[in-house]
Structure 1
Amino acid sequence: MKYTQYDGDDIPAFQKNDKAKVILICGKICSGKSTYSAKLKVNRNAVIMSCDEIMTDMFDKQLGDKHEEVVCKVKKYIYNKSLEVAKAGTNVIIDSGLWTKVERKTAKEFFNNQGIETELHYIKVDDETWNKHIESRNDAVEKGRSNDYYVDENLKKKVSSIFEEPDETEVDVIS
């Protein structure tokens, strides 16, 4: 599969006669997935389904041992609702990270088995940019301008140990 690279400003617009699809956004925490998704939403006439948005709006950030269980339930909800929206004819952007190859494969298969086309967009950042994004987010959280997750060293290490960079056979768009 050949991928296309966009800089974020030149994303082609959705054509009304195109079949709705699910766009899967892959990238580390603080890589710029939500910012990219917001731009893509306009250009692709899409609805964004964000795991982080639901988690921070609906649940206490200190779920403790229940955190991963709740994340799994939220992702299941997002996938099912995204399927419903796409079948109704509207593009969907799933902003959930898709950190592992297995998770990306499972997501693609879920939608493709229902006749819904997917695109995988990978938000690739170098370590210097990633660290700047983390600092910026943490500053906003500390100052009460954001209710996003604070990314401490433990979370950063966890993400780094789990994240599997997608190879070009998985990716449709790299940004």
Structure 2
Amino acid sequence: MAKVIMTCGNLCSGKSTYAEKLGKELRAVVLSIDELMTTVLGRELGDMHDEYVRRCEQYLYKKAAETALAGTDVIIDWGFWKKAQRGYAREFFRQQGIDCEFHYIAVSNEEWERRIAARNAEVLNGRSDVYHIDSGLLEKFRTMFEEPDRQEMDMWIE
């Protein structure tokens, strides 16, 4: 039976790189919230950002379940930053009889800050179309993320 694997980790922790690699290894479908948001809605969402994220998440839950029930493994590439989100996801798939796992991508604070600086340099040099993370946004992300404990994750990747 197909399963759903969900990546968990902070912004710039390597979730998308991990999801793409794992997707190739498993021949799984990768569903990325960032890809959906930027492709369909663009980068400048203003006050609607959180609402669009919520809508996209619900859409991707539905597509992940449909794909798994059709027999193909799915990798969900978004952060699952809050414990409540992770609990919701497990219950959502459990209710549909779909096996699921969480894979946590752990990075140190120093490495996280280095990756954000590298990402911002790519954006400023025009080599990336992701959004720039200023100090205010960085602090917002720092306070939003609830690091899971090891028992909550099925796989812990450092």
- Give 5+ residue unaligned stretches, structure 1: 1-18
C-alpha distance in 2 between matches for 1:20 and 1:42: 15
SS in 2 for 1:151: coil
Secondary structure of the residue that 1:94 maps to in structure 2?
strand
> For 1:77-106, what per-residue CA distance to the aligned partner results, in whole angstroms no more than 9, with x for missing partners?
110001000011111011110000000000
Q: Tell me which amino acid in the other structure corresponds to 1:103.
A: Q
| Per-residue Cα deviation, 1:5-34 (whole angstroms, up to 9, x for no partner) | xxxxxxxxxxxxxx2100010000101001
Alpha-carbon separation, structure 1, partners of 2:73 and 2:131: 27
| 1:154 to 2:131 alignment | no
Give RMSD over aligned pairs.
0.9
TM-score (norm 1): 0.87
1:108 aligns with 2:86: no
Number of corresponding residues: 157
Counterpart residue number, 2:75: 93
Please report the TM-score for the alignment, with normalisation by the length of structure 2: 0.96
8 Å contact from structure 2 (residues 43, 130) kept in 1: no
One-letter identity of the residue aligned with 1:165: E
Report the 3-state secondary structure (helix = DSSP H, G, I; strand = E; otherwise coil) of the residue aligned with 2:112: helix
Cα distance in 1, alignment partners of residues 131 and 71 from structure 2: 33
More helix by share: 2
Moved over 6 A (4+): none
1:142 equivalent among 120, 124, 131: 124
SS at match of 1:24: strand
* Superposition pairs of residues 47-62 of structure 1, within 5 angstroms: 47-62=29-44
**Residue 120 of structure 1: aligned partner:** 102
